[in-house]
Amino acid sequence: MNADAIRIERPTTNSKLFAHTRWDAVPAAAGLFHLAYFLGLFFLYPHAPLWVMLILGFTYSLMVNASINGVGHNFIHNPFFRSQLLNRLFGITQSIACCFSQTIYDAVHMQHHKGNSDRQDENGDTID
C-alpha cells in the first residue's frame, strides 16, 4: 500500500478560539483545572495537616501523569488554539502545573517520532 494514497481528514471548526474542534475546550479546561489545583496546594500547604496534604499530593501526582500523557501530548501534536499567543500561554500554564517544561517535552517527544514510520510532510514534521 502506498502511503501517499492515505488521506487523513482533519477536523475543522469555524471557531475563532479553537484551531481544530470545539471539543478542545475539554482538555484545555482540564489543563486549567490542573493549574488551579496546583496553586490551591501551594496556598493550602501552610494551613492543612500533613495527612490532608499527603492525600492531595497523591492526587496531584496522578493529575501530573494524566496531564503530561493526555492533555500535554495532545497539545504538542495539535495545539488547541488559533492564536499562537494563547497556545504559548497554555504551554506555560502546563509547564507550571506539571513542574515540567512543555518546550522540552515537545523537543524530546518529537525526537521520539523520528524514524518510527510516522508519515512526514514536506518539512519533515510528522502529520499523523
Query: Up-side HSE of residue 13: CA atoms within 13 Å toward CB?
Result: 14
Given CA atoms 89, 94, 99, 101 in this order, what sign does their dihedral have?
negative
Mean predicted confidence (pLDDT) in 66-83: 90
Q: What is the pLDDT of residue 119?
A: 66
What does the alpha-carbon distance between residue 13 and residue 46 come to, in Å, rounded to a whole number? 45
100 class by beta-carbon count within 10 Å (0-12 exposed, 13-18 middle, 19+ buried): middle
The predicted model scores a pTM of 0.76
Is residue 104 over pLDDT 80? Answer: yes
Is residue 55 over pLDDT 80? Answer: yes
Is residue 59 over pLDDT 50? Answer: yes
pLDDT digits over 6-16, tens only? 666 666 778 88
Is residue 58 over pLDDT 90? Answer: yes
Confidence of residue 95 (pLDDT cuts 50, 70, 90): very high
